[in-house]
Amino acid sequence: MCEFIKSENEDLYLRLMEKCALKIINVGEGIFEALSMCKCEEAITNPQCGITDNASGV
């Protein structure tokens, strides 16, 4: 996973490594945290994010 991120976006990879080192967490936790933050940011910027239609369940 790390090699894929590094090959696609080295700047992102380096920021992820630095953040994980500063927080003293492993890379897996760092990736999970980053993905959670992305979902959170999307929910803030996109009011339709996470809204489901109760009748259809979608």
pLDDT tens digits, residue range 13-51?
788 788 888 788 887 787 777 777 666 555 556 555 554
Domain residues for the domain of 20 are 2-45
Residue 9: strand, helix, or coil: coil
52 lies in some domain: no
Residue 24 to residues 20, 30, 31, Cα–Cα distance (Å): 6, 10, 13
| pLDDT score at 5 | 73
32 lies in some domain: yes
12 lies in some domain: yes
16 lies in some domain: yes
Token pair, residue 6, equals 């590094």
Return all residues near 33 (Cβ < 8 A) that are at least 6 apart: 25
To the question of pTM greater than 0.75 for the whole model, the response is no
pLDDT band, residue 54 (cuts 50/70/90): very low
Number of domains in the chain: 1
Token pair, residue 21, equals 């080192």
